[in-house]
Amino acid sequence: MTDADVVIGLEVHVQLDTDSKMFCGCSTEYDDSPPNTHTCPTCLGLPGALPVVNERAVEYAVKVGKALDCSIAEDTAFHRKNYFYPDLPKNFQITQYDSPINEDGELEISVEDESKSVGIRRAHMEEDPGSLVHKGGSIERSSYTLVDYNRSGTPLLEIVTEPDVESPEEARAVVDKLREILEYLGVFDADRGGALRVDANVSISVDDEEGTRTEVKNIGSTKGVVKALRYEVTRQKNQLKRGGDVQQETRHYDDDRGVTVTLREKAEEKDYRYFREADIPPLETSEYVEEVEIPELPDERRRRFREEYGLSREEASKLTSKKAVADFYEEVADVDSDLAATWVVDELLGELNYRDMTVEDVDAEDFRGLVELVDAGEVTDANAVEAIRASLDGRQGFVEVVEERGLGVADEGETLEACRTAVEENPDAVDDYLSGDDEALNYLVGQVMQATGGGADPATVNEVLREELEGEG
């Protein structure tokens, strides 16, 4: 094999964060519900039930179209994709075939500081099927499978890229970037149970000759994207190296084992017998296109953070990858933008992460109070870290913890007092110091720091102690 290039196209299925399903009024909050309790004749596909399009889902699709710089169809329509599978009670899925709402968009990604643009072929609306529950844990290990229709009819947006993705790492960047944008737009919320599933078309082209594609299905996480694609790329390359052919097929990604396995021969488009969904009239989008506005997106916000607050690329990127974190930072930034960035990025996020919490669990105004105290030199860095930990552990306010535990900086009088006490109470250390043992001074400094709850300034304590000890000698 001489010149082999990896060619990857992605299909990202995003569950839109609407309250009700795509074509009926059933609630999408089914995560903690018993199976098959969020269903009605429409999402069970019973004869005679009629679908009605969820307006919010259309609004969200238009938002995504605008954010990805797509051309948005003035008239769009729904189609039936016919196939039989137990999770699909109607024997067809309502989707969009030759008139998708969004086409021809673009997504900027960057991998190791190299930027590139990935084409978005289309982003269309469809419904999620029900879910199959394999009792043995996986499809291969189960002797039977149950089906739950709670998910059936959940609004999906399928975002399809052009085959511009050239490595598993780029694929991951695409998925990460899409997730960021979707969260900024408020159309997707993983914390509220929103799922994002990826199918990937993978082939290896040799000497510019197109290779046979496989489709890897149902990759459920960002980490999974890299693992599944690395496996599949290596598998195909090895196959070609041995002089074999790559079969056109659909493969399933097994996350536990980190491998892809043959699921079935790939169905061709004609197998699906697409035709117009006559129960749904054509949809005009002009009203949505006019009314829907999109907020500042992650890239813009990153640029603005660097310009407005003078942050480094890394800080700006850490602060903007989640909208909630960026919003939080902006409520603290005016104390001192550098100091605020340091305390949010280096301290708060780590401590939150460690406790499985997010910035949404803490009060920005209160944190701002703590940063103000640090800025004014009224709390030492070490004590501010302690205040953050204690506050998160005890679900108590930051400033409240500082006051309650006396974590504030000791004033001159307090420091002097504590130094004198230390000298009085530790005659042995004083003797040692006076007979030339400098180590003894460190011990006394430690005593003072302890007595002031870490609030004294170590340099001042040193100085004051030396003066006091000279008086002794």
Sole window of 10-18, 25-33, 90-98, 101-109 interacting with Zn ion (rule: CB under 5 A): 25-33
SS3 392: helix
Sole window of 43-51, 69-77, 275-283, 324-332 interacting with Zn ion (rule: CB under 5 A): 43-51
- In the set 6, 8, 22, 24, which binds Zn ion (CB under 5 A)? 24
DSSP class of 209: B
Alpha helix stretches (DSSP H) within 24-167: 55-67
Q: Supply the minimum distance, in Å, between the C-beta of residue 280 and Zn ion.
A: 15
CB nearer to Zn ion: pick between 93 and 260: 93
CB nearer to Zn ion: pick between 22 and 456: 22
- In the set 8, 10, 16, 26, which binds Zn ion (CB under 5 A)? 26
CB nearer to Zn ion: pick between 15 and 42: 42
CA distances from 179 to 11, 175, 195, 290, 377 (A): 13, 6, 10, 25, 40
Q: How many residues bind Zn ion (CB under 5 A)?
A: 5
Binding of residue 22 to Zn ion (CB under 5 A): no
DSSP class of 90: T
CB nearer to Zn ion: pick between 26 and 430: 26
- What φ, ψ does residue 196 adopt, rounded to 5°? -130, 115
* ∠ CA 92-276-24, rounded to 5°: 60
Sole window of 6-14, 37-45, 452-460, 461-469 interacting with Zn ion (rule: CB under 5 A): 37-45
Sole window of 39-47, 284-292, 451-459, 465-473 interacting with Zn ion (rule: CB under 5 A): 39-47
Q: For residues 114 and 92, what is the distance between their CA atoms, to the nearest angstrom? A: 42
Q: For residues 111 and 173, what is the distance between their CA atoms, to the nearest angstrom? A: 7
- Other CB atoms within a 10 A radius of the CB of residue 77 amount to 17
Binding of residue 40 to Zn ion (CB under 5 A): yes
Q: How far apart are the first and last CA of the chain?
A: 85
Q: Supply the minimum distance, in Å, between the C-beta of residue 21 and Zn ion.
A: 5
CB nearer to Zn ion: pick between 47 and 137: 47
CB nearer to Zn ion: pick between 55 and 393: 55
CB nearer to Zn ion: pick between 52 and 139: 52
- What φ, ψ does residue 445 adopt, rounded to 5°? -60, -45
Q: What is the chain's length? A: 473
CB nearer to Zn ion: pick between 40 and 111: 40
Binding of residue 94 to Zn ion (CB under 5 A): no
Q: For residues 180 and 168, what is the distance between their CA atoms, to the nearest angstrom? A: 18
SS3 216: strand
Residues facing residue 133 across a β-bridge:
146
Sole window of 21-29, 47-55, 118-126, 232-240 interacting with Zn ion (rule: CB under 5 A): 21-29
Q: How does 433-462 read in b/e, with b if 16+ C-beta sit within 10 Å? A: beeeeeebbeebbebbbebbebbbbeebbb
Considering only residues 347 to 366 of the shown chain, the ones binding Zn ion according to CB under 5 A are none
CA distances from 308 to 181, 295, 311, 319, 321 (A): 21, 18, 8, 14, 17
Sole window of 18-26, 59-67, 241-249, 420-428 interacting with Zn ion (rule: CB under 5 A): 18-26
CB nearer to Zn ion: pick between 129 and 454: 129
CB nearer to Zn ion: pick between 24 and 423: 24
CA distances from 370 to 348, 363, 374, 380, 457 (A): 11, 11, 6, 11, 18
Q: Supply the minimum distance, in Å, between the C-beta of residue 30 and Zn ion.
A: 11
Q: Supply the minimum distance, in Å, between the C-beta of residue 38 and Zn ion.
A: 7
CB nearer to Zn ion: pick between 43 and 88: 43
- In the set 8, 10, 16, 43, which binds Zn ion (CB under 5 A)? 43
CA dihedral 426, 432, 434, 438 (to 10 degrees): -100
Q: Supply the minimum distance, in Å, between the C-beta of residue 281 and Zn ion.
A: 20
Sole window of 22-30, 330-338, 393-401, 434-442 interacting with Zn ion (rule: CB under 5 A): 22-30
Q: For residues 344 and 370, what is the distance between their CA atoms, to the nearest angstrom? A: 11
Sole window of 4-12, 33-41, 79-87, 159-167 interacting with Zn ion (rule: CB under 5 A): 33-41
CB 281 within 8 A of CB 78: no
- Where along the sequence are the contacts to Zn ion (CB under 5 A)? 24, 26, 40, 42-43
